[in-house]
Amino acid sequence: FTGEEVAEHCTRDKRVWVTYKDGVYDVTDFLDMHPGGAQRLMLAAGGALDPFWAMYAQHNTDEVRQLLEDYRIGKLVGAAATQQVADPYANEPKRHPALVVRSQQPFNAETPVDVLGTSRLTPNELFYVRNHLPVPHVDPASWSVRVEGEGLKRVELSLKDLTTKFKKHTVTATLQCTGNRRDQFNDVKKVKGLEWGIGAIGTAEFSGARLSDVLAYAGLDDDTIDEIEHIQFEGLDSDISGTCYGASIPVSKAVSRHEDVILAYEMNGKELPHDHGFPVRIVAPGITGARCVKWLSRIIASKEESQSHWQQKDYKSFSPSVDWDNVDWSSAPAVQETNVQSAICEPRPGGVLEGPPDEIEVRGYAYSGGGHAIIRVDVSADDGETWTTAELEPVYDRRYRLASLSSTFHWNWAWTLWRTSVPLPESKDGHIKLICRAVDSDYNTQPESPAAIWNLRGVLNNAWHEVVLSVE
């Protein structure tokens, strides 16, 4: 087939054809099974998949290529068969070699476990990276964010405007990928997504202008807020079709000064790194990282939440019985606040205990979304028959006041680091398994098994974390 013949097949009634390299494929019957939705696959209808697969490199696996071959109907001939595809990732920023890379294109990487839990703040260069698209190169001198929407006057704010017209606000917040610890789900049943371990999480001191102040500057007041339910964000990162990354948060979160949502331009006292949204990103403490849009370009007050793919058909959780052939994305809300979480950072899986000793030092992190404080972490070495309560580092609220058992435990945006010494039982099979679980200030705790919370996207895994050690 020629490229012209393929181009004629761009609708369902004419059958949807696409090309990949020199192959021609009829994907009509696969449209509704596409994990990203039929609409996204239709972007390539009558044309080439190659530029989209160059953008979304998770397609470049033997499994996906074999799936595509099932729909092959012929060979592409003519000029289209030899057309070269530009590399959208040709100008990516440099990264620290210690990052644990989960994908190169787009770049996604975890903080090294050796760094996790050792310090309250995660160094910028070792902070986990979650990119959905190529990193845009932005000139800070010409950058601006447009603020508009229901009841607002349209305003354009430059970086200088943000730093001079609005009071600088600093918040220490933990950001966590919605898929953190996804790898444990694969032990139950294979899920689609990056195989994150425990390192898709980090804590930094972010500084910038309060979102509530920016919205007020654009005219949001008590009279207009009743017409608004969501604040949408759009970034400058976009795919080949021009579709940019987008997300939204509830307006109640956006307008409350206590919620500390900011347009951040500093991270740990320095300008934002390119991978983390330079020059300006949203930081919404207590909310999953997917809503903290990087390389910010637009803020939209709306009655509707963001209609982006990532808000509507990605970061949602379902029953373990729901799979790709029967998922109804509209039946579940988009993830906002994350659940209570903990992980063991030391010792590492596969470590060897000689002797073994009578006890072992264990340390890790715990975190709960929505501003809930961590009030307890339990650690066990005998499958939960007995538990040792860990020592928690001091917990501070948003006003940097030390939290106590008589406090309200509101607005605790950062993780809690913990450590303890755990008695070791006699090993019966040459192995000892350490497990941990956390409890937050609303007494939410972690489920024992990932099987009960398995979901097709592999998000929100907060089952007990375990580390298996060998005994010699």
The rounded distance, in Å, linking the Cα atoms of 447 and 465 is 10
462: Cβ contacts below 8 Å, ≥ 6 apart: 181, 339, 340, 341, 342, 446, 447, 453
CB 169 within 8 A of CB 262: yes
Radius of gyration of the chain (CA): 24
The rounded distance, in Å, linking the Cα atoms of 380 and 437 is 9
Task: For strands 262-267 and 201-210, give the pairing.
Answer: antiparallel
CATH number of 341-471: 2.60.40.650
Please say if 177 is a catalytic residue.
yes
State the residue for tokens 């976009």: 238
The rounded distance, in Å, linking the Cα atoms of 164 and 333 is 37
The rounded distance, in Å, linking the Cα atoms of 88 and 92 is 9
CATH classification of 100-323 is 3.90.420.10, yes or no? yes
Fold designation for 3-82: Flavocytochrome B2; Chain A, domain 1 (3.10.120)
Amino acid found at 286? G
Please say if 169 is a catalytic residue.
no
The rounded distance, in Å, linking the Cα atoms of 16 and 30 is 10
CB 13 within 8 A of CB 6: no
Of the candidates 461, 399, 383, 413, which has an alpha carbon nearest to the alpha carbon of residue 287? 413
Active-site residue (options: 10, 15, 34, 95): 34
Please say if 292 is a catalytic residue.
no
Domain ranges of the chain: 3-82, 100-323, 341-471
Quick one: pLDDT at residue 4?
Answer: 92
Quick one: pLDDT at residue 355?
Answer: 79
State the residue for tokens 């787009």: 106
Quick one: pLDDT at residue 60?
Answer: 76
Sequence length of the chain is 472
Quick one: pLDDT at residue 401?
Answer: 56
Active-site residue (options: 25, 128, 265, 315): 315
State the residue for tokens 């509830």: 250
Task: For strands 431-440 and 465-471, give the pairing.
Answer: antiparallel
Chain-centroid distance of CA 226 in Å reads 30
CB 377 within 8 A of CB 362: no
Please say if 59 is a catalytic residue.
yes
The rounded distance, in Å, linking the Cα atoms of 202 and 69 is 40
Quick one: pLDDT at residue 398?
Answer: 57
Active-site residue (options: 15, 59, 298, 410): 59
HEC sequence for the chain? CEHHHHHCCEECCCEEEEEECCEEEECHHHHHHCCCCHHHHHCCCCCECHHHHHHCHHHCCHHHHHHHHCCEEEECECHHHHCCCCCCCCCCCCCCCCCEEEECCCCEEECCCCCCCCCCCCCHHHCCEECCCCCCCCCCCCCEEEEEECCCCCEEEEHHHHHHHCCEEEEEEEEECCCCCHHHHHHCCCCCCCCCCCCCEEEEEEEEEEHHHHHHHCCCCCCCHHHCCEEEEEEEEECCCCCEEEEEEEHHHHHCHHHCCEEEEEECCEECCHHHCCCCEEECCCECHHHCCCCEEEEEEECCCCCCHHHHCCCCCCCCCCCCCCCCHHHCCCCCECCCEEEEEECCCCCEECCCCCEEEEEEEEECCCCCCEEEEEEECCCCCCCEECEECCCECCCCCECCCCCCCCCCCCCEEEEEEEECCCCCCCEEEEEEEEEECCCCECCCCHHHHCCCCCCCCCCCEEEEEEEC
The structure tokens listed for 32 are 């509704």
CB 2 within 8 A of CB 77: yes
CB 19 within 8 A of CB 6: yes
132: Cβ contacts below 8 Å, ≥ 6 apart: 106, 237, 245, 310
Active-site residue (options: 40, 102, 120, 130): 130
Of the candidates 172, 270, 255, 185, which has an alpha carbon nearest to the alpha carbon of residue 220? 255
Residues of the chain with pLDDT under 50: none
Please say if 130 is a catalytic residue.
yes
The rounded distance, in Å, linking the Cα atoms of 52 and 44 is 8
Of the candidates 458, 214, 221, which has an alpha carbon nearest to the alpha carbon of residue 317? 458
Quick one: pLDDT at residue 140?
Answer: 98
Global pTM value:
0.88
The rounded distance, in Å, linking the Cα atoms of 80 and 17 is 14
Active-site residue (options: 169, 177, 363, 372): 177
